[in-house]
Amino acid sequence: MIPTDVAIVRTGTANLASVLAALGRLGAMPRVVEDAETVRTARRVVLPGVGHFGAAMHQLQAGGLADALRERLAAGAPLLAICLGLQLLAQGSDESPGTPGLGAIAGVATHLPDTVRVPQLGWNLVVPDQQGGIVQEGHAYYANSYALRETPEGWAAARTVHGTPFLAAIARGPQLACQFHPELSGRWGAALLERWWAAC
């Protein structure tokens, strides 16, 4: 059996049309999946997310996808996590107290300050801690109420500020997790996706 080119994990909460379109522009043949074996064997995996942390984790646990994603992350296999997808990699979120995340990275997603508009909807900066990596400085489109603050060990980070500093993205080899939506971030986002694709 030929491995799936790129598998998009169905979390039950994501609008997948824009992700499918962005990957298609790269020449990919993406397929939306909900079986653990495909997540384990696909050449590349995308973990999207728009919605509620607890609902998404329930979907991943029910389908056996959570363990498959943990294995993939531990093995360093190519993976792209988007928006809620980044938060799902963590130990948990204040959005769903008591619901564990995938636990692939340390930290808990916390609510953005009430002193700014929440959710953050619109364009904001992405500033990498170090230059020359897969994530370069630019503006990206965000849609989030929760965020992670601390850089997990072994990952390169980029940051932004909306009321408080938080992680805009983290990268480790062919694994990239973005709080923003690269598929909605114009030419800058398309270029980021191309660099991730090449890194895989």
Q: How many domains does the chain have?
A: 1
Residue 1 inside a domain? The answer is no
Q: Please tell me which residue in 34, 95, 178, 181 is annotated as part of the active site.
A: 181
Spatial contact of 197 and 26, defined as CB atoms under 8 Å apart: yes
C-alpha span between 125 and 105 (Å, rounded): 23
The secondary structure of residue 173, as a DSSP letter, is T
| Beta pairing class for 138-144 and 120-128 | antiparallel
Q: Is the per-residue pLDDT at 182 higher than 50? A: yes
Residue span of the structural domain in which 105 resides: 6-199
Q: Is residue 53 part of a domain?
A: yes
Q: What whole-number percentage of the chain has pLDDT above 70?
A: 98
Q: Which segment of 15-24, 146-155, 188-197 scores lowest on mean pLDDT?
A: 15-24
Tokens of 109: 């997603």
83 catalytic per annotation: yes
Query: The domain that contains 189 carries what CATH number?
Result: 3.40.50.880
- Please confirm, yes or no, whether 200 is among the known catalytic residues: no
Which among 83, 95, 162, 178 is annotated as catalytic? 83
194 is catalytic: no
pLDDT in tens, 11-59: 876 778 999 999 999 999 999 999 999 999 999 999 998 889 999 999 9
- One of 34, 162, 178, 183 is an active-site residue; which one? 183
The conformational region for residue 69 under phi > 0 = left, psi -120 to 50 = alpha, else beta, is alpha
Q: Phi and psi for 171 in degrees, rounded to 5?
A: -140, 145
